Amino acid sequence: MKKKRRNKKLSKMFIQYSWIFGIAGALFLLAYFTYPDKKNALEYIEKRMNDIQMQRDILTDKEKQLEKLATDKEWEEVDNDNNK
């Protein structure tokens, strides 16, 4: 009698762990196949750099000066924060 109960508990536990490992395995496979590889990441970075370069080429001289001033001001704030 006790063996039957024990076998039922073990079989329920086995089924539960099977579900857990099955779902975890499926999630792992999904993440593995959808995670971008280094080639895609490099292509994205190159494309983004080209877009930024095109945007800078379009800027007028006044806009370029304003961008430089804003960048310099941001770096000064970072330097001041680091010096404290």
Dump pLDDT digits (tens) for 16-73.
999 999 999 999 999 988 886 666 778 888 999 999 888 877 878 888 788 888 888 8
Contact 53, 61 (CB under 8 A): no
Residue 1 has pLDDT above 60, yes or no: no
Q: CA-CA distances (angstroms) from residue 73 to 5, 22, 52, 64, 81?
A: 74, 54, 20, 14, 12
Please report, for the chain, the start and end positions of each structural domain, with discontinuous segments joined by +: 1-35, 36-84
| pLDDT for the residue numbered 45 | 87
pLDDT band for 8, please (50, 70, 90 cuts): confident
